[in-house]
Amino acid sequence: MKIFEDKTILVTGGTGSMGKTFVRRVLSGELGTPRKVIVFSRDEGKQHEMRMSYQHKLVATDEVIYRNFMNVLEFRVGDVRDFGNVCRAVRTADIVVNAAALKQVPTCEYFPAQAVMTNCLGAANIVRAIEENGYPVGTVVSISTDKACKPVNVMGMTKSIQERIFTAANILNPKTRFIAVRYGNVLASRGSVIPLFHDQIRNGGPVTVTVADMTRFLLSLDQAIDTVFAAIKEAKPGETYVPNAPSATVLNLANALIDNREIEIKVTGIRPGEKMHEIMVSEEEANHCVKRGDYFAILPMLPELQGQESMEPNALTKEFSSADTILDLEQTKELLHRHQLLIDQVDETSSPNELLR
């Protein structure tokens, strides 16, 4: 299905780990050749680096991407917090992927008002721009997180509200489909634990682990993008797509990366706003969660958005927690090896965002 053929795609927060990989995949033409891809973010430095990465890293396998970059990729400096900025970016878009976020849990705990402005008001600005101006946007995708499920921290709370903002938007904007994807920790994304562990190991340790038995869902950037693509292809208004991802303990992640090196592991304690185990689908949501291929789809609770899908059998009988099926140490090593994230496989000159191109 060529879902991007001749479409204009806006990616807010497009210079982040997810945004960069999404843009690269779209430009590859695997799901059709887009008319235009607009990268919208407030960091001109990251935009410049992203632009230069396409110009300076052309290899034979990237010819299609490079050609598409020259023709269709556009960068716009702006902020989702600013309604005028959002209007100017959204007005020509067929598909909007909202990846702009404050996503660091401790940061959001110390600056909750900032998290609200980006994660909640930014989403509301997208809805308002479409509603007040009648922009013919076909699909809007919220990039959410497992922390939005039964949230205990500000980051999760604001992402949960963002999910609800987009779900409710379907009622007053029936010509636009508002959907969401929710996934766990993305391997080697900016600010995640694996680049931190790599740096600590290269410097001789210690490797700092918050709590040994803490578990996290794990998936690669490409698997995260696959989830977004699946939702854009199949999700109905108000649905949230969730990948069936594996999980591992933080201690096993550390031991897998350390391998046989003589490096100390230091337990530092749980950080502000952290959970011991993440939940992708709550027990309440399990009552209206169906299977869609390799994914779970959480159906909207608003009755106006419920169709025949609400009659499908539930895919889950309990909450989907990272504590349910945990990879052992060897399985964790195999997962990291498969995605070339063991420290011996990583070029020290590579940035974490290039590890999973």
The pLDDT of residue 63 is 65
Please state, in angstroms and rounded to a whole number, the distance separating the CA atoms of residues 213 and 231. 32
At residue 297, the pLDDT reads 97
Q: From CA 98, how far away is CA 356, in angstroms rounded?
A: 21
CA-closest candidate to residue 153, choices 110, 199, 204, 185 = 110
Q: How far is CA 147 from CA 105, 274, 321, in A?
A: 9, 9, 11
Largest separation between any pair of C-alpha atoms in the chain: 61
- Rounded distance between C-alpha atoms, residue 332 and residue 340, angstroms: 12
Q: Which amino acid is at 48?
A: H
Q: How deeply is 28 buried, as exposed, middle or buried, from its count of CB atoms within 10 A (0-12, 13-18, 19+)?
A: middle
Residues annotated as catalytic are 147
Structure token digits, residue 112: 């909750």
Give the residue extent of every domain in the chain: 8-354
Confidence (pLDDT) at 65: 67
Contact residues for 132 (Cβ-Cβ < 8 A; gap 6+): none
Burial of 330 (0-12, 13-18, 19+ CB in 10 A): exposed
Residue 323 CA to residue 41 CA, distance in Å, equals 35
- pLDDT the model gives residue 354: 36
Buried b (16+ CB within 10 A) or exposed e, 154-187: bbbbbbbbbbbbbbbbbeebeebbbbbbbbbbbb
Beta bridge partners of 76: 40
C-alpha neighbours within 13 Å on the C-beta side of residue 300? 25
End-to-end alpha carbon distance in the chain = 23
Chain segment 102-114, per-residue pLDDT in tens: 998 889 999 999 9
| Residue 190: predicted pLDDT | 67
* Three-class secondary structure of residue 163 per DSSP: helix
Give CA–CA dist 55/7, Å, rounded. Answer: 23
| Cα 90 to Cα 179: distance, rounded to the nearest angstrom | 16
- Closest by CA to 160, choosing from 205, 212, 206, 116, is 116
CB count in 10 Å sphere of residue 272: 12
- Asked if 182 and 241 touch (Cβ cutoff 8 Å), the reply is yes
Residue 67 has what pLDDT?
64
The vertex-9 CA angle with 6 and 13, nearest 5°, equals 160
**Residue 265's Cα: distance from chain center in Å?**
29
Q: What amino acid occupies position 132?
A: E
pLDDT at site 193: 82
The identity of residue 250, as a single letter, is: V
Strand ranges for the chain from DSSP E: 8-12, 36-41, 73-77, 95-98, 139-145, 177-183, 185-186, 207-209, 215-219, 240-243, 247-249, 265-267, 279-281, 289-292, 295-298, 320-321
Query: What superfamily would CATH give domain 8-354?
Result: NAD(P)-binding Rossmann-like Domain (3.40.50.720)
Residue-wise pLDDT tens digits, 267-291: 999 888 889 999 999 999 999 999 9
DSSP 263: -
Give pLDDT, residue 349: 39
Q: Give strand pairing partners of 290.
A: 297
pLDDT along the chain (357 residues), means of 10: 96 94 94 96 94 70 65 93 98 98 92 98 98 97 96 97 98 97 84 84 93 92 96 97 95 93 93 90 95 95 82 89 94 89 60 34
